Amino acid sequence: MTGSPSRERRYRRTHSVTMLEPEEAYPMKIPGIIGGVGPESTIDYYRTIINLYREKYDPDGYPEIVIASINMTRMLAMIEAADMAGLVKYLLHGFARLKAAGADFGAIASNTPHVVFGEILERSPLPLISIVDATTASAASAGIKSAALLGTAFTMRNDFYRIAFERKGIKLHVPNADEQTYIHRRIFDELEFGVVKSETRAGFDAIIDRMLGDCGIEGVILGCTELPLLFAEPAGPGGLPFFNTARIHIEEIVATMAR
């Protein structure tokens, strides 16, 4: 049989698939997503994985995906209590559940829990795709040397993004304390509930403008998977490139499905 790999796959799926055992029948790797942190971003991951899969591999395809939506209230309580061991345990439990459900590899549809990604990767029952590593690679190939990081207070105050970026020779700047409080509140009071306001967009733009003047940033990391709700455009004030961490993460997830 000649033709593209995608056509061959489709042929196999629609013609001989019922003779195969479930685990043999599906030629693509199944992603296992820890979701619910927050739900709006989980929906974005689910929909975009399917759309990119169709663009890349099979226009009429329905990829298998497993999602375990965890309880964000519980996760945030652990983070506020600085219970990092509890957070690691909760997320590892999530990946064990996803593996048991047939996932071939895993990802967390959120930036914040990546503060413990190193510990999780060491003990994970599944290979994992890090949103931080995917974003760092993307910023490095864009050739920028300095970027601003926007995200939850937790993501901005911790150094998991900074360390990954410094390894690639990119300096990472975070907003000042007042700006951090403003950003964090807008994420939790509006974006987590799918609420998008133009005044909030203006507030974020003002922060980016201030950092452009004071820090000479060459790009902006949208380091929270809800932020793309607010920044639909690919670039900010002054044509500054935006790095949509969710989109970059999803592209890496979809690429991994075929490996």
Give me the residues that bind a second copy (CB under 8 A), please: 10, 13-15, 17-18, 22, 25-26, 36-39, 42-43, 46-47, 50, 60-74, 77-78, 81, 83, 86, 89-90, 93, 97-98, 100-102
Residue pair 191/182 in contact by the 8 Å Cβ criterion: no
Nearer to a second copy, 78 or 131 (CB): 78
Q: What are phi and psi of 128, to 5 degrees?
A: -125, 150
Nearer to a second copy, 13 or 145 (CB): 13
Q: What CA–CA distance (Å, rounded) separates 155 from 165?
A: 14
Q: Where are the beta strands (DSSP E) in 121-219?
A: 146-150, 171-173
Nearer to a second copy, 9 or 148 (CB): 9
Nearer to a second copy, 98 or 147 (CB): 98
Q: Please, what is the minimum distance in Å from the beta carbon of residue 88 to a second copy? A: 12
Q: How far is CA 51 from CA 45, 47, 128, 228, in A?
A: 10, 6, 21, 17
Q: Please, what is the minimum distance in Å from the beta carbon of residue 157 to a second copy? A: 20
Q: What are phi and psi of 173, to 5 degrees?
A: -110, 140
Q: Please, what is the minimum distance in Å from the beta carbon of residue 87 to a second copy? A: 9
Residue pair 164/132 in contact by the 8 Å Cβ criterion: yes
Q: Please, what is the minimum distance in Å from the beta carbon of residue 50 to a second copy? A: 5
Nearer to a second copy, 72 or 215 (CB): 72
Residue pair 9/58 in contact by the 8 Å Cβ criterion: yes
Q: Please, what is the minimum distance in Å from the beta carbon of residue 72 to a second copy? A: 4
